[in-house]
Amino acid sequence: MAGLLSWIASALIHMLIKYHNADYKGLSNEEVVSTALAEKSPAPALYTLPYCSNMKAMGAEPMRKKFNDGPVAMITIMPNGMPPMGKLLSQQILFFIFGSFLIGYLASISITANTDVMMVFRQVFIASFLTYGWAQISYSIWMGQPWSNCIRYLIDALIYAAVTAGTFSFSWPNLN
């Protein structure tokens, strides 16, 4: 149930509130960049610009010049065509269901029946926040994602954590 409710919260965030629209920026020369990328038909992958195969090469003067002159970028190439929304939404709900399963497993081995509802809420909330948000920080540290994007994803994680913790707290066994 927590996975489904978190998925619904995600849908509301992305379809109604839409604060993630600020996550993406367009290039002023999008057509030029798109044409240049299409000429080489790169396979779907994460690419870096400039590309450096190892740390030793990164220290070489020609590579340092490329970095200093710029641009420095990470580019995700996806398959051509419209995003397969059915597949993506299915993967997203599986993400929430599996995450909730792991959170539930952790709760079941660390919290007993009859535990105070606020104790259940707090523990499940922290586990949920770590599940849904904490790893997002590394994208701002290492991959250049703006910190404002990271903060929005962490806000999402707080919302999913509250939904998950509320669901588990409401349904936690109380044998008294």
Three-state SS string over 104-153 comes to HHHHHHHCCCCCCHHHHHHHHHHHHHHHHCHHHHHHHHHCCCCHHHHHHH
Q: Where are the domains of the chain?
A: 2-26+81-171
What values do phi and psi take at 87, rounded to 5? Answer: -65, -45
Max Cα-Cα span within the chain? 72
Residue 93's Cβ-count burial label (10 Å; 0-12, 13-18, 19+) is middle
pTM: 0.88
pLDDT tens-digit series, residues 93-136: 999 999 999 999 999 999 999 899 999 999 999 999 999 999 99
Q: How confident is the model at residue 173 (pLDDT cuts 50, 70, 90)?
A: confident
CB distance 11 to 173 below 8 Å: no
pLDDT tens-digit series, residues 2-61: 999 999 999 999 999 999 999 999 999 999 999 999 999 999 999 999 999 898 998 999
Check residue 175 and give its pLDDT.
63
Check residue 176 and give its pLDDT.
61
Check residue 167 and give its pLDDT.
97
CA 134 to CA 138: how far, in whole Å? Answer: 8
